[in-house]
């Protein structure tokens, strides 16, 4: 189980680097930590004093380091302090409120983009060099080059402002109702953000799948399958694509990382109150505890996603177990 | 710097530009360079001064219309080209130089492999935009800082693939014969490995420019740095706040199309270099 051990060790290392970055980065800024943490905020001065004491911001660095780690590891949810902008809400509660929305977006667009690139690569592998392959290659290069926020703005323009089919803003109506009406409201608000995310992300998957599919096409087992007279579709889906999945799955963590980058922009454009929108909100309000907390949770999502990918990979490819 | 084999580079370049995609990409980049060099002298309006009525739709005197303050959008797009592109290009130079050096080291020297690939894995785990946002919100977001942060985020991609290339190159017989004929490690790296790696590094450079430009405009769009400096990203930063309300769709359209066009031009160039080197990827239709 060398592979598993190595992956888990790497994940733990990444986790610790992330926490340390979270501690170090704000404190490298010249100036008094307490001032930086509370500078330019609307906090009353007694609240600033309380924060100072709670984080030991006026104490030596090693004490701060101890308190920081204690806050994260001895509390559930991990304690990153109190948001300046949403005072007195704790960072973790704030993120917990918004995380489900972000997960809804990234999960739907992840599966959608995966499915689209899978289909494109499969059909392309049946008709190598045809118009279809040409078209899907250049479409994915086009979308790969388009900034996510701009796609979002254009979609808002066309479908929400001009055609008025879908809501312009937010993740749910003010009075969403209950039951089916509630679900419909959530879905209607999620359509455009999910399309935007899918559009900018599917290209990456497609490039990887296509490269792997072309390698698989020249392999002995595909040749054998062809000589056995199997149908083209069976070969494409059962043989070529099946074996091209491995590199895509092994890049799961990486594609999650780029998806989370795009989600920050997309949520900001659509005013979708998830974690990504919170990041942008926190920059504007210099809400450092929230920035630290979101960075921590987003990295955690990538780490966990990467590990899930590794275990799926292990299931798909028993050779790794050696 | 090194004894590059000019003939090899020339063959790849000429092969590459035989592809229509590379020619299209090259032409777009050339056109934008001309725009950056000459554009500011021929634009009739200043990008930050009102040029007349606000919210004008595209017309002969304002091909891309005007925004809610009467700025000519075409002039803004022309003036915004330089700040949008220079950061991306410089960051890509830095990122690929770093990535190539680290990739070669990690592939060639056994001892450094674990450390360097470990670092690359760690960096790749961070979602790039939130990391950049965190850094740029803590420190004054100068252009230099943004370039450094982009380099930090982008180097591992090229480092990884160059490392695996070096790993396989290292086992080739001509490396062995170089060693037998008394070449030192540095000499082998310089005269045998590097010329083989150079085209891949070039492909990564071009692709990284595309990725960097998209990331830079994203930062500008979020208002990181100075949103009053006219760039493609900052035009959209203001457009997001006012264009919908004023009904100025043309204000959104032009800068986004330029970002896409330029990033796609670099991507097309990069993919054609890759394809020329790796015939497996060739789509016969292109």
* DSSP states of A104-154: HHHHHHHHHHHHHHHHHHHHHHHSTTSHHHHHHHHHHHHHHTS-HHHHHHH
Round to whole Å and give the CA distance between B165 and B172: 11
Question: B244: which chain A residues are within 8 Å (Cβ-Cβ)?
Answer: 156-157, 161, 168
Partners of residue B267 in chain A, C-beta under 8 Å? 141, 144-145
| CB-CB contact of B224 with A283 (8 Å) | yes
| Backbone φ and ψ of A163, nearest 5° | -85, -25
Q: Under the phi-then-psi rule, with left for phi > 0, alpha for psi from -120 to 50, and beta for the rest, what region is A175?
A: beta
Helices (H) and strands (E) in chain A, counts: 14, 0
Cross-chain Cβ contact A280/B284 below 8 Å:
no
B283/A147 Cβ within 8 A: no
Is B222 a residue whose pLDDT tops 70?
yes
Q: What is the DSSP string of B120-167?
A: HHHHHHS-HHHHHHHHHHHS---HHHHHHHHHHHHHHHHHHHHHHHHH
Which residues does A309 contact at the CB level (< 8 Å), separation at least 6?
A249, A250, A251, A252, A253
**Within a domain: B4:** no
B170 SS3 class: coil
Query: What does the alpha-carbon distance between residue A117 and residue A199 come to, in Å, rounded to a whole number?
Result: 11
Q: If DSSP states are collapsed to H, E and C, what string results for B96-130? A: HHHHHHHHHHHHHCHHHHHHHHHHHHHHHHCCHHH
Between B2-11, B61-70, B245-254, the lowest mean confidence (pLDDT) is in B2-11
- Tell if the CB–CB gap between A258 and B127 is shorter than 8 Å: yes
Q: Does A26 touch chain B (CB under 8 A)?
A: yes
Interface check A284 vs B, CB under 8 A = yes
Task: Note the pLDDT of residue A1.
Answer: 54
Which residue in the block uniquely carries the two structure tokens 């323009």?
A: A157
The count of structural domains within chain B is: 1
The answer to whether residue B106 sits within a structural domain is yes
Could you tell me if residue B79 is inside a domain?
A: yes
pLDDT tens digits, one per residue of A67-99: 888 888 887 788 887 777 777 788 889 999 999
The position carrying tokens 């130079």 is B93
**Could B264 and A142 be called an inter-chain contact, meaning their C-beta atoms sit closer than 8 Å?**
yes
DSSP-assigned letters across all residues of A289-318: HHHHHHHHHHHHHHHHHHHHHHHHHHHH-G
Give CA torsion, residues A187, A190, A196, A198, to 10 deg. Answer: -60
* CB within 8 Å: A257 and B217: no
Chains A and B form CB pairs within 8 A to the count of 156
Q: What is the pLDDT of residue B106?
A: 87
Look at residues A70, A100, A98 and name the one whose alpha carbon lies nearest to residue A86.
A98
State the DSSP H helix or E strand holding residue A2, giving kind and residue range, or none if neither: helix A2-28
Phi, psi angle pair for A218, to nearest 5°: -95, 10
Q: Which chain B residues touch A262 with a CB distance below 8 Å?
A: 129
Nearest-angstrom CA–CA distance, A103 and A301: 10
**Contact call for residues A268 and A276 (beta carbons, < 8 A):** yes
* CA–CA distances in Å: residue A203 to residues A280, A296, A302, B157: 26, 27, 19, 16
A249 vs A212: CA distance, rounded Å? 12
- Cβ distance B273 to B206 under 8 Å? yes
Cβ-Cβ contacts under 8 Å for A232 (sequence gap 6 or more) = A126
Residue A197: burial class (beta carbons within 10 Å; 0-12, 13-18, 19+) = buried
Predicted local confidence at residue B45, as pLDDT: 77
pLDDT at B154 over 80: yes
Q: Do A265 and B249 touch (CB under 8 A)?
A: no
Model pLDDT for residues A277-319, shown as the tens digit of each residue: 998 888 777 777 888 888 888 888 888 888 888 888 888 777 7
Q: What are phi and psi of A57, to 5 degrees?
A: -65, -20
Q: How far is CA B254 from the centre of its chain?
A: 20
Residue B285 lies in a domain: no
Which of A:100-139 have CB within 8 Å of B? 128-131, 133-134, 137
Reduced to 3 states (helix: H, G, I; strand: E, B; else coil), residue A90 is: strand
Look-up of token digits 């210099």: A286
- Chain B closest-CA separation from residue A300 CA (Å): 9
Residues 4-23 on A with a CB inside 8 Å of B are: 10, 13-14, 17-18
Would the ipTM clear 0.95, i.e. be above it?
no
Report d(CA B258, CA B73) in Å as an integer: 12
**Cβ-Cβ contacts under 8 Å, A36 against chain B:** 138
**Residues spanned by the domain of B186:** 18-38+67-279
Cis peptide before A88 (omega within 30 of 0): yes
Look at residue B265 and tell me if it is in a domain. yes
Q: What is the pLDDT of residue B91?
A: 93
Q: Which two tokens stand for residue B173?
A: 């017989």
What local confidence, expressed as pLDDT, does residue B89 receive? 92
On chain A, the residues whose CB falls within 8 A of the CB of B285 are 129-131, 133-134
Residue B234 lies in a domain: yes
Cα–Cα distance, B213 to A145 (Å, whole number): 9
d(CA B138, CA B248): 34
Residue among B107, B273, B115 at smallest CA distance from B189: B107
* Both tokens assigned to B44: 């009739």
In this predicted structure, the answer to whether residue B3 has a pLDDT above a threshold of 60 is no
**Tokens 């457009």 label which residue?**
B239
Does residue B54 lie in a domain region? no
**What per-residue confidence (pLDDT) applies to B81?**
87
Which pLDDT score is estimated for A279? 87
Q: Say how far apart CA B66 and CA B55 lie, in whole Å.
A: 5
Phi/psi of residue B66, nearest 5 degrees:
-125, 160
Q: Does any CB of chain B come closer than 8 Å to the CB of residue A286?
A: yes
Peptide bond into A4 cis (omega under 30): no
Contact residues on chain A for B255, CB-CB shorter than 8 A: 150
CB contact under 8 A, A153 and B218: no
Q: From CA B265, how far away is CA B12, in angstroms rounded?
A: 18
Torsion of CA A267, A268, A272, A277, to 10 degrees: 90
Nearest CA in chain A to B256: A150
Cβ neighbours of B268 in A, within 8 Å? 141
**Which positions in chain A touch B280 (Cβ < 8 Å)?**
211, 214-215, 218
The answer to whether the beta carbons of residues A280 and A291 sit under 8 Å apart is no
pLDDT category of residue B264 using cuts at 50, 70 and 90: very high
Q: Cβ of B286 and A265 within 8 Å?
A: no
Per-residue pLDDT of chain A (322 residues; tens, 9 = 90+): 577 787 888 888 888 888 888 888 777 766 555 555 555 555 666 766 766 666 666 777 788 888 888 888 887 788 887 777 777 788 889 999 999 999 999 999 999 998 999 888 888 887 777 788 888 888 998 998 899 999 999 999 899 888 888 887 787 877 777 788 888 888 888 999 999 999 988 888 888 888 888 878 877 888 888 788 788 788 888 778 887 888 888 788 888 888 998 999 999 999 999 999 998 888 777 777 888 888 888 888 888 888 888 888 888 777 776 6
Residue range B89-116: average pLDDT?
88
Contact B260 A260 (CB under 8 A): no
CB contact under 8 A, B124 and A253: yes
Closest chain A C-alpha to B193 CA, distance in angstroms: 25
Which CATH number covers residue B222?
A: 1.10.3720.10
Residue B157 within a domain: yes
Identity of the highest mean pLDDT range in A227-231, A260-264, B51-55, B228-232 = A260-264
How is residue B22 written in tokens?
Answer: 């590379």
- What DSSP element (H or E) covers B226? none
Q: Do A260 and B259 touch (CB under 8 A)?
A: no
């Amino acid at each position: 189980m060398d592979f598993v051990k190595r992956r888990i060790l790497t994940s733990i290392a990444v986790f610790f680097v992330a926490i340390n970055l979270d501690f170090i980065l704000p404190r490298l800024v010249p100036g008094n930590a307490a001032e930086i943490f509370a500078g330019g905020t609307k906090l009353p001065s007694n609240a600033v004093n309380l924060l100072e004491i709670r984080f030991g911001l006026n104490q030596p660095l090693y004490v701060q380091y101890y308190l920081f780690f204690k806050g994260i590891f001895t509390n559930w949810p991990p304690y990153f302090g109190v948001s300046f902008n949403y005072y007195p809400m704790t960072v973790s509660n704030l993120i917990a409120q918004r995380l489900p929305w972000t997960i809804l977006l990234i999960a739907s667009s992840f599966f959608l983009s995966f499915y689209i690139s899978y289909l494109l690569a499969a059909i392309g592998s049946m008709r190598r060099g045809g118009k279809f392959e040409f078209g899907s290659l250049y479409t994915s290069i086009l979308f790969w080059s388009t900034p996510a926020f701009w796609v979002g703005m254009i979609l808002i323009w066309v479908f929400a402002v001009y055609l008025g089919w879908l809501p312009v803003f937010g993740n749910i109506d003010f009075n969403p109702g209950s039951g089916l009406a509630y679900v419909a409201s959530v879905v209607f608000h999620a359509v455009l953000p999910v399309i935007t995310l899918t559009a900018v992300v599917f290209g990456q998957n497609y490039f990887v799948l296509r490269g792997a599919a072309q390698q698989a096409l020249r392999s002995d087992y595909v040749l054998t399958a062809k000589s056995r007279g199997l149908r083209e579709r069976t070969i494409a889906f059962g043989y070529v694509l099946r074996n091209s999945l491995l590199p895509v799955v092994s890049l799961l963590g990486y594609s999650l990382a780029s998806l989370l980058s795009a989600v920050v922009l997309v949520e900001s454009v659509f005013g979708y109150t998830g974690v990504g929108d919170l990041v942008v909100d926190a920059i504007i309000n210099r809400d450092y505890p929230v920035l630290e907390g979101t960075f921590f949770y987003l990295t955690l999502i990538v780490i966990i996603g990467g590990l899930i990918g590794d275990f799926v990979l292990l299931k798909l490819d028993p050779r790794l177990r050696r | 710097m090194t004894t590059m084999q000019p003939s090899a580079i020339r063959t790849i370049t000429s092969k590459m530009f035989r592809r229509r995609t590379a020619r299209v990409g090259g032409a777009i980049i050339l056109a934008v360079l001309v725009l950056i060099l000459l554009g500011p002298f021929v634009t009739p309006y200043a990008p930050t001064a009102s040029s007349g009525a606000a919210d004008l739709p595209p017309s002969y005197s304002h091909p891309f219309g005007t925004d809610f303050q009467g700025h000519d959008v075409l002039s803004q797009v022309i003036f915004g080209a330089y700040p949008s592109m220079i950061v991306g290009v410089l960051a890509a130079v830095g990122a690929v130089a770093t990535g190539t050096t680290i990739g070669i080291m990690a592939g060639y020297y056994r001892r450094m492999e674990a450390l360097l690939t470990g670092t690359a894995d760690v960096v790749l785990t961070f979602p790039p935009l939130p990391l950049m946002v965190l850094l740029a919100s803590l420190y004054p977001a100068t252009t230099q800082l943004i370039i450094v942060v982009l380099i930090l985020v982008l180097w591992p991609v090229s480092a990884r693939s160059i490392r695996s290339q070096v790993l396989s190159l290292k086992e080739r017989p001509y490396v062995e014969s170089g060693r037998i004929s008394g070449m030192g490690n540095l000499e082998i790296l310089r005269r045998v490995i590097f010329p083989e790696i150079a085209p891949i590094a070039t492909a990564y450079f071009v692709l990284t420019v595309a990725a960097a430009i998209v990331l830079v405009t994203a930062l500008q769009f979020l208002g990181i740095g100075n949103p009053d400096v006219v760039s493609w990203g900052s035009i959209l930063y203001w457009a997001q706040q006012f264009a919908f309300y004023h009904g100025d769709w043309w204000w959104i359209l032009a800068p986004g199309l330029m970002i896409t066009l330029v990033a796609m031009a670099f991507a097309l160039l990069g993919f054609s270099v890759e394809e020329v080197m790796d015939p497996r990827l060739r789509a016969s239709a292109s």
